[in-house]
Structures are given as structure tokens and as C-alpha cells.
């Protein structure tokens, strides 16, 4: 008599890919994947989202309970596809919303393989050749960014936030040696610019430094850290007996693509070591999770311009490289492939100039008796994570192989070309003005103004003159309304999806400047989609003007 569970076990076994070759079952597996892809395809349209975007019922979601009976693979697929409804299509030519990339077929296959065979990068015993893949990506990127590949090291981790967390943890071990073991017993401060990512607060908090030990340095009009203020603040901290836990330089700020002068930061750091005879060298981490990809132009000949970019694009690319090619001054660098590397989440790499810096975070073997007894590659002895998926690594490697340096140049060059085109269009109209004119990425922040505003100098007046406070606030509201219209049109498939930033920067007198934001990261965006942005903004202006006229 066969136990009842045995019958069900057979069905459940069928829901796993077969561990032993079984071609018939493989085709069932592939067919199941195809069904899912096919079902999602039915949700596509002219609009930059999948299907409809309906209100979300969290109340109903909270009623969910684990069912007594399971379902078939087919039923589950059908239900999962429903969760894709309403998602933004990041690759859609009408999407210019944020720094989220569309993903390549190769990177998806990387993720699929890593998910299918589930390597664990903690230890090469559990990841074998996938451990080599991680070392290969580390070496490729170290070389690309100008580190000595013989000395450099790195690990994939849980996001751009994770890369900066590692950077600051290494910095703390340098400034307060032994803090990993004894805890943080002295105050140490961390510096970052006000344009840097807000994860700095998390990091200072979670590391146990306390967010109050984070010193935020204002940025200049170019959205780069103000070096005079950094010098003053760092000198002040050292004079008052505090340690410097680390300096975060941002190369490619999220909102404006501001680039900190990492060469100047390094010079300042070295001066301070001398001046105060420091027993440690404060750690400099470059948050280049967005900017790293521009490094493919470090050795591009802008004179020959074999790829045929327009002069304005060349100027923008060369302008960015001016700072990007200094990345190697940093002691560690954060890289997101899930931003301008076109992989799925999560694919983030921490690079260190000196591999020995990573081993500062190493735990003693006796704390981990059940792992790492042998093998030569054991990143799990110093990583924050225990299990580390191979999916980010294989996705990154896939795209590096797929694109090569030339492919990355094409794709980055194209999105910068589109952003430059947008800036040109916006500047050719008297009623719109670009705010981050001196930044060279693929993100454009701009404002529109009603008739009768002298846009030639309004930007400066709003920024610096407190007498313009009311005007600024009115224009903030005005731009929110413009955004609402453009967004509505975008959702309806008649326009382009943009975003809005509540605070591009603060004015000298402390008010936030609201801006419309176009972030181009899809290779499918082309000239007509850029022209559409301007067209929709002008339509919104007309609509607001006539609404005012009739009220």
C-alpha cells in the first residue's frame, strides 16, 4: 500500500527542473517559461506600462493566507503574470522616468542559470566556476577604472547602498582599528555632499556611527562637493579630536549627474594626514554606481570620433571623463550594473584598490566551524552576507561580454546624445530652462515658466535672491501642475513618462527648487520621443494659461 503523500510527491517532483537529463521534461520547463513571457506580452501596448494601472488594495492583500491545496505550474504562472500588471516598461521609448534600466537577454540568461543551479559565492566549494566569474568581473572593472588589477579586489553585494556600506566599514577599521571586534568606542565622522545618495544616513546609522556623525557638505552650482567647505569641516573635526571614518565622493549624483573632484579630495586627504600627523589614512570611497559606465570613454579618441557622435555629445562625454578618469584615486568604488549596466536587480560590485583592505573585515575561522575548511577562495570569510547569489555576477559578466567596450560606448553615447538633444530643444524655447546645464549625464532637470517671465535670468534670481521667494514657490507649484499633465498624457500613451523632483537643490535662502526630470536610460529612446517631451510641456503651459484666462 503506497502512502497517500507519495502520489502528490510525484506531481511536486514534476514542478522542479529535472536533476538528471530528461529532454521531454526540459521542453515542459521551457514551455512553461514561454507561457509566462507570452502572457506578459499580451499586456503590452503603445503605453509605457504593462496592462492597466489600477488602485492597489492592500486591505485585500492582508487577507491572504496559505491555502490548504497547492496549484499547478500553469495556474501559478497565470497568477504571477497578474502581478506584472501596471509595471513600467523601462525600455519603452516613451519612458524617461528614472535610473532604472531595461535588461538584456544575456543578463536574463545569466540570472536564470544562476537561479537554476543556485551557486553560493560565499565559497568556491559551493560556486566553483561562478567564483571565477566574480574574479573576472572584478579584474575587468578594476582595469577599466584604472586600478592595478594585481592589487585590486572586490565582491558583489546587495546594492549600491551595500557598496558604500562596505566602503565606510573599511574606513572605520582604518580610523578605529579593531572596531569590528570591540565596537565603536570613539566618535568618527563621515563626509558626503548634499547631492550624494540618501543611503548615507542609513549607513551612518546602521554602522553605529549615528547619523549625527555624518557631515553633509554643500555642493557648488555644478552639483559637486564644495572643496573649501570640506577642508574647513575636516580640519575642524580633526582639531576637535575626532577621527575621519571616511569620505564619500559621488561620481554621478542621482538627480543631476554631479561629479565630485576626487583628485582634489585625495590631495586634501593627504594634506590632512601630513598636517595632523594622522596614524591612519582616511578612506575615500567613490560612489560611482551611476558614473562608472562613462569610463569606457577614458580612452576614446574624441578627435577621430569613429562612432560619429555629435559635437555636443562629444563635449558632454569628454566633460564627464574629466572627473571619471580620476576614479582610480579612490580607495574603493561602488558600481551598479543594475543602473547603466542593463542587468536586472541586484547586481552591485564593490571594488577596492588594495585587496588587503577587504581582509580587514575578516572574521576568525573558529567563528565559522561548519564552513571554509578548505578551498582557496573564501569571500564569505569577510563579506557581510553569508549566502551570496551568483545572479548579479553572471548578469554583469553577460553584459560585459555582450557589449564589449564598444557596445557600452554606443549605448552610453546614445543616451547622452538624446539628453543633449533634449537640452537643446528646451533651451530653444524662451519658456523652459535647463537647471543642470553643466552636468554631462543622461539626466536633465528643467523648469517651465508662464508667459511674461524673463527666463533669461530667472534661474539665478530664484536661486540667490530672497526677494524671489514667493515667485519661486509659485513656480514650484506651476511645475507640479505641468508635471501632472505630462504624467497623465504619458500614462494615456500620448506622451512620455517623466519624473518630478521635489528638491533639485535648495536656494541660498533655504527653499527647495522643484524640477521636472528626464532620465534617459533606454536605448530605444529616439529623437521623436525627446521632441515629444517639449511638445507635451508646451501643451501643458497652454492649458494652464487658458485655464487661468477663463477663471
Ligand X SMILES: *Cc1c(COP(=O)(O)O)cnc(C)c1O
Footprint on this chain of ligand X (rule: CB under 6 A)? 99, 159-161, 197, 199, 250, 253-254, 287, 289-290, 336, 348
Q: Which of 154, 71, 18, 101 is nearest to 522 (CA)?
A: 101
Q: Which of 353, 354, 351 is nearest to 334 (CA)?
A: 351
Contact 121, 133 (CB under 8 A): no
Consecutive H or E run containing 163: helix 160-175
Contact 533, 458 (CB under 8 A): no
Question: CB of residue 348 vs ligand X: minimum separation in angstroms?
Answer: 5
* Nearer to ligand X among residue 253 and residue 433 (C-beta): 253
* Nearer to ligand X among residue 154 and residue 495 (C-beta): 154
What are phi and psi for residue 8, nearest 5 degrees? -65, -35
379 DSSP 8-state letter: G
Query: What are 225's strand-pairing partners?
Result: 219
Question: CB of residue 261 vs ligand X: minimum separation in angstroms?
Answer: 16
Question: CB of residue 214 vs ligand X: minimum separation in angstroms?
Answer: 14
Question: CB of residue 470 vs ligand X: minimum separation in angstroms?
Answer: 33
Which pairing describes strands 284-287 and 332-336: parallel, antiparallel, or unpaired?
parallel
Question: CB of residue 188 vs ligand X: minimum separation in angstroms?
Answer: 21
Alpha-helical runs (H) found in 295-390: 311-324, 356-359
Question: CB of residue 294 vs ligand X: minimum separation in angstroms?
Answer: 13
Distance CA 137, CA 131 (A): 10
Which are the contacts of 122, defined by CB distance < 8 A and separation ≥ 6? Answer: 371, 378, 379, 380, 383, 385, 386, 387, 388
Q: Is 432 helix (H, G, I), strand (E, B) or coil?
A: strand
Contact 217, 226 (CB under 8 A): yes
CA 221 to chain centre: 23
CA distances from 400 to 110, 137, 141 (A): 12, 8, 10
C-alpha cell at 361: 573585515
* Nearer to ligand X among residue 344 and residue 495 (C-beta): 344
* Nearer to ligand X among residue 153 and residue 340 (C-beta): 340
* Nearer to ligand X among residue 197 and residue 536 (C-beta): 197
Residue of minimal Cβ distance to ligand X: 160
Contact 302, 317 (CB under 8 A): yes
Question: CB of residue 347 vs ligand X: minimum separation in angstroms?
Answer: 9
* Nearer to ligand X among residue 238 and residue 262 (C-beta): 262
* Nearer to ligand X among residue 159 and residue 245 (C-beta): 159
Question: CB of residue 167 vs ligand X: minimum separation in angstroms?
Answer: 11
* Nearer to ligand X among residue 213 and residue 250 (C-beta): 250
Strand extents, DSSP E, 224-378:
243-250, 284-287, 332-336, 348-352
Question: CB of residue 234 vs ligand X: minimum separation in angstroms?
Answer: 21
Contact 266, 284 (CB under 8 A): yes
* Nearer to ligand X among residue 141 and residue 199 (C-beta): 199
Contact 483, 504 (CB under 8 A): no
* Nearer to ligand X among residue 289 and residue 358 (C-beta): 289
| Percentages of the chain per state (helix, strand, coil), in multiples of 5 | 50, 10, 40
Strand extents, DSSP E, 258-408:
284-287, 332-336, 348-352
Question: CB of residue 400 vs ligand X: minimum separation in angstroms?
Answer: 18
Amino acid at each position: 500500500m503506497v502512502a497517500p503523500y507519495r502520489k502528490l510527491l510525484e506531481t511536486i517532483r514534476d514542478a522542479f527542473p529535472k536533476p538528471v537529463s530528461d529532454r521531454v521534461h526540459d521542453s515542459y520547463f521551457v514551455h512553461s517559461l514561454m507561457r509566462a513571457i507570452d502572457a506578459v506580452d499580451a499586456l503590452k501596448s503603445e503605453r509605457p506600462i504593462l496592462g492597466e494601472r489600477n488602485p492597489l488594495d492592500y486591505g485585500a492583500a492582508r487577507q491572504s493566507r496559505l491555502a490548504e491545496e497547492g496549484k499547478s505550474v500553469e495556474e501559478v504562472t497565470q497568477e504571477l503574470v497578474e502581478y506584472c500588471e501596471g509595471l513600467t516598461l523601462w525600455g519603452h521609448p516613451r519612458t524617461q522616468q528614472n535610473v532604472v534600466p531595461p535588461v538584456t537577454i544575456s543578463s536574463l540568461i545569466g540570472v536564470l542559470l544562476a537561479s537554476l543551479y543556485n551557486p553560493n559565492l560565499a565559497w568556491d566549494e559551493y560556486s566553483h566556476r561562478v567564483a571565477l566569474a566574480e574574479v573576472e568581473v572584478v579584474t575587468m572593472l578594476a582595469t577599466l577604472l584604472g586600478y592595478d588589477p594585481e592589487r585590486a579586489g572586490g565582491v558583489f553585494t546587495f546594492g549600491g547602498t551595500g557598496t558604500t556600506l562596505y566602503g565606510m566599514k573599511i574606513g572605520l577599521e582604518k580610523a578605529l582599528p579593531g572596531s569590528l571586534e570591540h565596537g565603536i568606542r570613539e566618535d568618527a565622522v563621515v563626509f558626503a555632499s548634499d547631492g550624494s545618495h540618501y543611503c548615507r544616513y542609513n549607513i551612518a546609522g546602521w554602522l553605529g556611527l549615528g547619523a549625527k556623525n555624518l557631515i553633509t557638505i554643500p555642493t557648488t552650482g555644478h552639483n559637486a562637493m564644495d572643496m573649501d567647505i570640506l577642508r574647513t569641516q575636516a580640519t575642524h573635526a580633526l582639531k576637535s579630536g575626532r577621527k575621519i571614518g571616511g569620505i564619500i565622493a559621488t561620481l554621478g549624483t542621482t538627480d543631476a549627474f554631479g561629479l565630485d573632484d576626487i583628485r582634489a579630495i585625495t590631495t586634501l586627504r593627504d594634506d590632512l594626514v601630513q598636517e595632523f600627523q594622522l596614524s591612519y589614512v582616511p578612506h575615500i570611497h567613490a560612489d560611482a554606481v551611476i558614473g562608472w559606465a562613462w569610463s569606457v570613454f577614458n580612452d576614446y579618441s574624441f578627435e577621430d570620433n569613429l562612432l560619429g557622435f555629435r559635437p555636443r555629445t562629444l563635449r558632454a562625454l569628454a566633460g564627464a571623463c574629466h572627473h571619471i578618469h580620476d576614479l582610480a584615486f579612490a580607495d574603493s568604488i561602488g558600481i551598479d550594473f543594475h543602473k547603466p549596466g542593463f542587468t536586472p536587480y541586484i547586481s552591485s560590485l564593490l571594488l577596492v584598490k588594495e585587496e588587503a583592505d577587504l581582509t580587514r573585515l575578516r572574521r576568525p575561522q573558529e567563528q565559522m566551524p561548519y564552513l571554509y575548511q578548505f578551498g582557496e577562495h573564501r569571500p564569505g570569510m569577510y563579506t557581510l552576507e553569508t549566502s551570496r547569489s551568483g545572479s548579479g555576477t553572471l548578469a554583469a559578466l553577460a553584459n560585459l561580454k555582450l557589449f564589449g567596450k564598444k557596445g557600452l560606448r554606443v549605448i552610453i553615447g546614445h543616451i547622452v546624445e538624446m539628453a543633449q538633444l533634449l537640452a537643446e530643444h528646451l533651451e530653444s524655447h524662451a519658456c523652459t530652462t535647463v537647471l543642470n546645464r553643466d552636468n554631462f549625464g543622461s539626466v536633465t532637470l528643467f523648469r517651465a515658466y508662464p508667459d511674461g517671465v524673463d527666463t533669461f535670468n530667472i534661474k539665478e534670481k530664484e536661486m540667490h535672491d530672497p526677494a524671489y521667494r514667493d515667485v519661486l514657490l509659485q513656480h514650484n507649484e506651476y511645475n507640479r501642475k505641468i508635471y501632472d499633465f505630462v504624467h497623465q498624457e504619458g500614462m494615456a500613451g500620448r506622451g512620455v513618462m517623466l519624473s518630478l523632483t521635489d528638491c533639485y537643490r535648495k536656494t541660498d535662502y533655504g527653499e527647495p527648487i522643484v524640477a521636472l526630470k528626464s532620465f534617459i536610460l533606454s536605448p530605444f529612446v529616439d529623437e521623436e520621443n525627446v521632441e515629444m517631451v517639449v511638445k507635451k510641456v508646451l501643451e501643458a503651459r497652454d492649458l494652464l494659461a487658458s485655464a487661468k484666462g477663463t477663471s
